[in-house]
């Protein structure tokens, strides 16, 4: 059982981390304005791709009480985030190694006793995430869909937010809302975009141009294209089979696109680190 004193220590660590240069791995969220964009599929397979590139990855399922990474992997989660929010375990105690270079912290789904997460709870969570980032090259956060206060609070306290959108106007508009709310909150989080479930490259580029132009015109905010993933029935088949797509079908166009996304993410962070060091 974690004591209140230990929780206060983690809260103080978060405050200290905000006041000094970060010396750990990158903290990256995967978010979407609406459900059904394929956010978890992209976050899971991008994490696996980076692990194959010999990056040490921790993927945390933060989709509050609607988590499904363990379901997609056909794994029974023995300990989940509810243990953290109920002061039973530290975040580090919940880490489950999966494959070489990749580990998970699983969330919960459909619990009637799932605790409400206050801003203080989120601060404690972020404090432990920032502390864990010293042990990983990347910590991925699979955030729930939508733009609730708790989602925006988490997103504005990390390095990078990857918005997963589809070409549909509703998906683009909902993602724009996230960018707008972060902008209004004075966030310096970098927003990148992956357009998923596209019919073709032109379809994806047009969707990105729509959100990019809106963000630039109305918010004076720059969003960057991280990648485009085409629609493919093999994705549905692997999800139904509860198989990790990139592991089972590494040679498909979808897999190649996700590996390119992973490589581009690394290149962007290397460039950012180089510029910051000057």
Rg over alpha carbons for the chain, rounded to the nearest Å, is: 18
> For residues 239 and 245, what is the distance between their CA atoms, to the nearest angstrom?
8
**Rounded mean pLDDT of 239-267?**
97
Largest CA distance in the chain: 54
Q: Is residue 9 part of a domain?
A: no
Q: Is residue 7 part of a domain?
A: no
Confidence of residue 241 (pLDDT cuts 50, 70, 90): very high
Question: Domain total for the chain?
Answer: 1
Per-residue model confidence as pLDDT tens digits over 3-30: 555 655 655 655 555 544 567 899 999 9
With pLDDT > 90 as the criterion, what percentage of the chain qualifies? 82
> For residues 271 and 143, what is the distance between their CA atoms, to the nearest angstrom?
25
Residues whose CB falls within 8 Å of the CB of residue 116, separated by 6 or more in sequence, listed in order: none
- Specify the higher pLDDT residue, 84 or 11: 84
Q: Is residue 188 part of a domain?
A: yes
Confidence of residue 269 (pLDDT cuts 50, 70, 90): confident
**Rounded mean pLDDT of 154-177?**
97
Per-residue model confidence as pLDDT tens digits over 172-202: 999 999 999 999 999 999 999 999 999 999 9
pLDDT at 3: 58
Q: Is residue 1 part of a domain?
A: no
CATH at residue 159: 3.40.50.300
Which among 63-72, 229-238, 264-273 has the top mean pLDDT? 229-238
> For residues 116 and 114, what is the distance between their CA atoms, to the nearest angstrom?
7
The DSSP result for 37-82, as a single string, is S-HHHHHHHHHHHHHHTT--EEEEEESTTB--HHHHTT---SS-HH
Per-residue model confidence as pLDDT tens digits over 245-257: 999 999 999 999 9
Q: Is residue 219 part of a domain?
A: yes
Q: Is residue 16 part of a domain?
A: no
pLDDT at 12: 60
Q: Is residue 72 part of a domain?
A: yes
Q: Is residue 10 part of a domain?
A: no
Domain extent for 224: 25-270
With pLDDT > 70 as the criterion, what percentage of the chain qualifies? 90
pLDDT at 19: 44
């Amino acid at each position: 059982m974690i004591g209140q004193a230990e929780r206060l220590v983690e809260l103080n660590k978060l405050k200290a981390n905000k006041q000094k240069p970060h010396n750990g791995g990158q903290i990256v969220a995967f978010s979407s304005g609406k459900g059904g964009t394929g956010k978890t599929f992209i976050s899971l397979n991008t994490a696996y791709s980076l692990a194959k590139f010999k990056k040490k990855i921790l993927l945390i399922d933060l989709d509050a009480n609607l988590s499904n990474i363990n379901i997609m992997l056909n794994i029974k989660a023995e300990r989940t985030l509810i243990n953290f929010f109920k002061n039973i375990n530290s975040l580090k105690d919940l880490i489950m190694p999966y494959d070489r270079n990749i580990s998970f912290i699983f969330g919960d789904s459909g619990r009637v006793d799932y605790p409400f997460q206050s801003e203080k709870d989120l601060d404690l969570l972020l404090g432990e995430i920032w502390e864990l980032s010293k042990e990983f090259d990347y910590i991925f956060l699979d955030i729930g869909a939508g733009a609730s206060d708790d989602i925006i609070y988490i997103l504005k306290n990390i390095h990078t937010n990857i918005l997963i959108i589809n070409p549909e106007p509703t998906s683009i508009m909902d993602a724009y809302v996230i960018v707008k709310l972060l902008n209004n909150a004075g966030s310096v989080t970098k927003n990148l975009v992956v357009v998923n479930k596209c019919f073709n490259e032109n379809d994806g580029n047009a969707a990105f141009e729509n959100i990019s132009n809106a963000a630039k015109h109305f918010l004076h905010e720059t969003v960057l294209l991280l990648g485009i993933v085409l629609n493919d029935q093999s994705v549905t088949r692997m999800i139904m089979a509860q198989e990790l797509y990139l592991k089972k079908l590494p040679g498909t166009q979808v897999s190649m696109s996700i590996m390119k996304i992973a490589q581009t993410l690394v290149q962007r962070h290397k460039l950012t680190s180089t510029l910051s060091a000057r």
